[in-house]
């Protein structure tokens, strides 16, 4: 299982990170450890990846991912990270061995940097945030 957060800026762009160990960008977050809740895993991963110790908001997305593509993930959970202010943005620090860079991305840029399933998940997380709902996805597609 993986868990992450959707952070936005004042221009409603999404924060994406560029891992050193994958060929594509991601939302900040990572694998939930054994006996760790998805929420606590996301909070821990945000602290480890961005150097930010923040409470996260409500659940936005639960996305079931078919076996084989992401062997250790299976279910991906996205929480609302909220709006990052200038001080929080200035304090972002990346672990060089894990993340190459980060960027604020509008919908078009996110679509270029993310593979299909992640682009769909991010788009649905943005929509869920705006609509005040949580959504269930399978491979990035809404179900039900």
Q: What is the CATH number of the domain that holds 101?
A: 3.90.79.10
Domain extent for 78: 2-142
User: Mean pLDDT per 10-residue run, the chain (144 residues)?
Assistant: 97 97 95 96 98 97 83 85 97 97 97 96 97 97 92
* CA–CA dist 87, 6 (Å, integer): 18
Q: What is the pLDDT of residue 104?
A: 98
The pLDDT, as a whole number, for residue 144 is 81
pLDDT of residue 1: 92
In total, how many domains does the chain have?
1
- Residue 84, C-beta contacts closer than 8 angstroms, at least 6 positions apart: 7, 8, 9, 15, 52
């Amino acid at each position: 299982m993986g868990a992450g957060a959707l952070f936005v800026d004042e221009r409603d762009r999404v924060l994406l990170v560029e891992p050193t160990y994958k060929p594509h960008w991601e939302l900040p977050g990572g694998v939930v450890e054994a006996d760790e809740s998805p929420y606590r895993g996301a909070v821990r991963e945000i602290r480890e990846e961005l150097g930010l110790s923040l409470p996260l908001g409500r659940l936005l997305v639960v996305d079931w991912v078919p076996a084989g593509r992401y062997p250790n993930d299976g279910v991906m959970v996205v929480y609302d990270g909220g709006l990052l202010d200038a001080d929080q943005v200035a304090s972002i620090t990346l672990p060089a061995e894990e993340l190459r860079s980060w960027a604020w991305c509008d919908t078009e840029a996110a679509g270029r940097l993310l593979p299909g399933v992640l682009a769909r998940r991010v788009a649905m997380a943005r929509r869920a945030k705006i609509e005040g709902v949580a959504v269930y996805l399978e491979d990035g597609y809404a179900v039900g």
